[in-house]
Amino acid sequence: MKKTSLILILGIILNTALLAQTSVNYPMKRGSIAYTMSMMGSNSPITIYFDDNGNKQCTETKMEMFGTKMHNRSITKNNKFYNLDMTLKTYTESELLTGNSQKMNFYSTDEALTKEGATKIGDEEFLGKNCQVYSMNKDGADIKLWVWQGLMLKMETSAQGMTMSMIATTISESAPDAALFEIPSDFTKK
């Protein structure tokens, strides 16, 4: 039961963190943001890479849950979404629906956050950036977000007595490796 609740809560949290829209306008043309997700004494790296103001995106996630290591990469480009299992060397592909919030990223406007039920509660500096701080309750999870120019830099959440945080550790404006936005040639489509 606890394992199921934890997975459900993690899904709610990541869904909230990945609020998105089909038209992204990052404050930088290209770059990357590295995060550390902390939950139940475990720290997992998550890095989002983007180019062309977010029209090409890659989110890399490495984590271990219940003794199982996971390494996934999701790529969004050319109106398609690819989910890669970096361990099994397999991937799935799907079309992005126009007008749907399927593009996964850590970017969201004030309007999108408000639509999701978030309330702006103040301003605070984080990583040297002036962030707007939002609070919301989503499916029983209390969530607090620090957002800079549309990018989520910090998130704290609690649900059913469990806490989780996702904190940006570095922001780079360097061009990401172009290979991050491609399917490796030795991967098999599922």
Domain residue ranges in the chain: 2-189
7-52 residue pLDDT tens? 444 444 454 344 333 345 677 899 999 999 888 778 889 999 999 8
pTM (two decimals): 0.79
| Fold that domain 2-189 belongs to in CATH | outer membrane lipoprotein receptor (LolB), chain A (2.50.20)
**Residues 113-139: b if buried by 16+ CB within 10 A, e if exposed:** beebebeeeeeeeeeebebbbbebebe
What length is written for the chain?
Answer: 190
> Could you report the per-residue pLDDT of 120-143, keeping only the tens digit for each?
999 999 999 999 999 988 888 898
Q: Which tens digits make up the pLDDT trace of 153-183?
A: 999 988 888 888 999 999 999 999 999 999 9
Sole residue written with tokens 């394992």: 3
